[in-house]
Amino acid sequence: MLDVKDLTIEFHDHLAPETVVFDFCLHMEPGEIVGLVGESGSGKSMTALAIAGLLARHDMEKRGEILFEGKDLLSCDRQQLRALQGSRIAMIFQEPMTSLNPVCRVGWQVEEALRIHCPQMTKQERRQRAMQALADADLKDTQRVYDSYPHQLSGGMRQRVMIAAAMVCEPKLLIADEPTTALDVTIQAQIVELLKRINQEKKTAILFISHDLSLVRQLCRRVIVMQGGYIVESGTVDDVFYRPKKAYTQKLVGAIPECVRQGTKGNTGKLVLSVENVHMGFVQKRRSLFEKKRRIEAVRDVSLSVREGEAVGLVGESGCGKSTLSKVILGLEKPEQGKVVHYSEHPQMVFQDPYGSLNPAYKIGRILEEPLRIQGGFPAAERRRQAQEMLVRVGLDEKIADRYPYQLSGGQRQRVCIGAALMLKPKLLIADEAVSALDVTIQAQILELLRRLKEEMGLAILFISHDMRVVYQMSDRVVIMKDGQFVESGDTDTVYFAPQHPYTEQLLLAAGIRT
């Protein structure tokens, strides 16, 4: 059905032409699901856009053939291409919020493909089809969804709306570009289930693009691995994942945090943090004069202790209260009830977004020195020496001290963040989703760095994440949080291999650790 031969994409907007995709080949049968895997910058999204006919910039050149049902999409004119888009080939994207038009109603957007491709349909018929499509995407209360605007829906619902809008004309090929990356794990699992069902019921072929290897493993039978614009390896999921031939694939597969029983070691270090029965709630801002104020209980009666040299994992999905808890622990917000006791000075934090946590106005050296300046009592030469030592310690070149944050890569920035947090030699470090924004291979390196620092400095780490696999790699003990409460806690192996709470089980299933 789809046959891509030697697709090469070149950009001409720089002085020298830059090739982003080299000789890409792909063959897809009707009703097949193929995974396309690679890290950021591997050219996978470019390839997907080219197949969907959405790469039409005048400063780029595409060579090769994209045969869809016998027709070459690269030599088609715009009109022929348009006739296929939305009716035979549909696409869904990573960010459902920005991919939907914010000022148009959901129903109108779902019906759009029908208005374009089936102009003979009456208004009622279109509406019926759109409702059906919404229902098929497992949306409840379709009437309300139909009439609402995108911002009134949750992230998962928005992606379902995207899927409904893509499927409304029953296309033969659905291209899904990182469709679950922006979503919570349990929602992720539901979307993957939905795609699987659509594939089985409607016989729609799916090209599934993702950086998440475990998702691809769950959904696809065949997989293509890309790096730097080239296809590194392709084959069945089992071959690629369990018998990788190329070094890069091996590295990529090796970077997936595996969950193999590690044995528990008791920790008898000194206590660095104890949280006792902390309770925290917010009064939601009123949206109008007449609305009743609503209280949201963000953290309910939570207790936790962390010892020296110990890493405690805190797992939860967005909105479970983990960020509020971390703020309370750091003293950025006062708890309403209960107390937080620190047994050491200057607990520090590493944040998710390495772009936002480094002050863009200053050079790296100045950022590292800042905590010492605030504390005072360090002469300039001493500050500089300590900053350079720290750069080496977190695995960076000393020369980086003279650069600005925007000149560094994501991984380098996160190393700087860790370094800046450690300048005051804290005993407790809170890492809030510290590796979530990074590519898998970089993720593995940062985790390695954190483990090393933990050993070297006797650091206690509270590791907050939504990613079950990463947490397993990092932690000695785990706490699972849902709706402001701890639903389960214990040492890592026990929680992962003998979960007591159904929610833990659900998370493990979604992460593909239990099957």
Partner 1 sequence: MMGKKSSTNFKVGAILTGIVLVCMAVGFFWTPYDPEAMNSARKLAGVSLAHPMGCDNFGRDILSRVLKGGGTTLLVALGTVAIGACCGIVAGAFTGYYGGIVDEVFMRINDALFAFPSILLGLVFVSLLGSGKYNVVVALGIAFIPSFARIVRSEFIRCKNMDYVKSAKLAGAGDLRIMFVHILPNVMTTLSSSVMIGFNNAVLAEAGMSYLGIGVQPPDASLGRMLSEAQTYLFSAPGYAMFPGAVLILTVLGFSLLAEGIKERRQGS
Partner 2 sequence: MKYFAKKLAGLVATLLAVSFLVFAAFAVIPGDPATAMLGTEATPARVEELRARLGLNDPLIVRYARWAADFVRGDFGTSYRYNMTVKSMIWDKIPITLTLAGMSFVLIVLISVPVGILCAWHAQSRLDRTVMVVNQIIMAVPAFFSGILITLVFGLVFHFFTPGDYVSYHTSWSGFLGYLFFPAVAIALPKAAMAAKLLRTSVIAEKKLDYVRTAYSRGNRTKAVLYRHVLKNALIPVVTFLGMALADMVAGSIVIEQVFNIPGIGRILLTSISNRDYPVVQAVIVCIAFLVIFINFLVDMLYRWIDPRIALE
Judged by beta carbon, residue 332 or residue 341, the one nearer partner 1 is 332
- CA distances to 216, 359, 366 from 415, rounded to whole Å, are 29, 14, 15
- The binder of partner 1 chosen from 101, 250, 375, 500 (CB under 8 A): 375
Q: Is the dihedral of CA 237, 242, 246, 247 positive or negative?
A: positive
Side-chain half-sphere exposure of 457, counting CA atoms within 13 A = 22
Name the residue with tokens 């006919």.
Answer: 53
* Cβ 361 to partner 1 shortest distance, Å: 4
Residue 423 interacting partner from partner 2, partner 1, none (CB closer than 5 to 8 Å by kind): partner 1
- CA distances to 142, 328, 378 from 427, rounded to whole Å, are 52, 17, 20
2 beta partners: 28, 68
* Cβ 93 to partner 2 shortest distance, Å: 6
**Which one-letter amino acid corresponds to residue 236?**
T
The angle formed by the CA atoms of residues 479, 316 and 494, to the nearest 5 degrees, is 35
* Cβ 358 to partner 1 shortest distance, Å: 6
* Cβ 334 to partner 1 shortest distance, Å: 14
Q: Is 424 in the site for partner 1 (CB under 8 A)?
A: yes
Does residue 35 sit in helix, strand or coil?
Answer: strand
Can you tell me the distance from the alpha carbon of 391 to that of 383, in angstroms, rounded to the nearest whole number?
A: 12
Q: What is the largest CA-CA distance in the chain?
A: 79
Judged by beta carbon, residue 423 or residue 507, the one nearer partner 1 is 423
Does residue 296 sit in helix, strand or coil?
Answer: strand
Residues ≥6 apart with Cβ < 8 Å to 287? none
Residues ≥6 apart with Cβ < 8 Å to 65? 3, 4, 5, 6, 7, 72, 74
Q: Is the dihedral of CA 258, 264, 267, 271 positive or negative?
A: positive
Q: Is 420 in the site for partner 1 (CB under 8 A)?
A: yes
CA 458 to chain CA mean position, Å? 30
- The binder of partner 1 chosen from 330, 437, 457, 509 (CB under 8 A): 330
Residue 117 interacting partner from partner 2, partner 1, none (CB closer than 5 to 8 Å by kind): partner 2
Q: Is 370 in the site for partner 1 (CB under 8 A)?
A: yes
* Cβ 197 to partner 1 shortest distance, Å: 39
The footprint of partner 1 on residues 345-364 (CB under 8 A) is 346-349, 351-353, 356-362
Side-chain half-sphere exposure of 393, counting CA atoms within 13 A = 24
Residue 321 interacting partner from partner 2, partner 1, none (CB closer than 5 to 8 Å by kind): none
Residue 102 interacting partner from partner 2, partner 1, none (CB closer than 5 to 8 Å by kind): partner 2
Q: Is 437 in the site for partner 1 (CB under 8 A)?
A: no
Residue 40 interacting partner from partner 2, partner 1, none (CB closer than 5 to 8 Å by kind): none
* Cβ 68 to partner 2 shortest distance, Å: 14
Residue 362 interacting partner from partner 1, partner 2, none (CB closer than 5 to 8 Å by kind): partner 1
* Cβ 323 to partner 1 shortest distance, Å: 11
The footprint of partner 1 on residues 269-288 (CB under 8 A) is none
Judged by beta carbon, residue 121 or residue 457, the one nearer partner 2 is 121
H or E element, residue 36: strand 33-37
Binding-site ranges for partner 2 (CB under 8 A): 49, 52, 54, 82-87, 90-91, 93, 95, 98-104, 112-113, 116-117, 149, 151, 162, 165-166, 287-291
The angle formed by the CA atoms of residues 213, 219 and 221, to the nearest 5 degrees, is 90
Measured from the Cβ of residue 141, the count of other Cβ atoms closer than 10 Å reads 10
User: Which two structure tokens, joined as six digits, stand for 323?
Assistant: 């960020």
* Cβ 428 to partner 1 shortest distance, Å: 11
Judged by beta carbon, residue 17 or residue 356, the one nearer partner 1 is 356
Can you tell me the distance from the alpha carbon of 42 to that of 44, in angstroms, rounded to the nearest whole number?
A: 6
Can you tell me the distance from the alpha carbon of 435 to that of 465, in angstroms, rounded to the nearest whole number?
A: 8
Residues ≥6 apart with Cβ < 8 Å to 120? none
Q: Is 332 in the site for partner 1 (CB under 8 A)?
A: yes
Judged by beta carbon, residue 234 or residue 348, the one nearer partner 1 is 348
Residue 358 interacting partner from partner 1, partner 2, none (CB closer than 5 to 8 Å by kind): partner 1
Judged by beta carbon, residue 113 or residue 461, the one nearer partner 2 is 113
SS3 content of the chain, % helix, strand, coil (to 5): 40, 25, 35
- Which window, 28-36, 39-47, 343-351, 393-401, contacts partner 1 (CB under 8 A)? 343-351
Residue 100 interacting partner from partner 2, partner 1, none (CB closer than 5 to 8 Å by kind): partner 2
Judged by beta carbon, residue 49 or residue 424, the one nearer partner 2 is 49
Residues ≥6 apart with Cβ < 8 Å to 228? 41, 42, 43
Judged by beta carbon, residue 183 or residue 237, the one nearer partner 2 is 183
- Which window, 80-88, 103-111, 207-215, 421-429, contacts partner 1 (CB under 8 A)? 421-429
Judged by beta carbon, residue 166 or residue 408, the one nearer partner 2 is 166
Can you tell me the distance from the alpha carbon of 450 to that of 313, in angstroms, rounded to the nearest whole number?
A: 13
Interface residues with partner 1 (CB under 8 A)?
13, 330, 332, 346-349, 351-353, 356-362, 370-371, 374-375, 406, 417, 420-421, 423-424
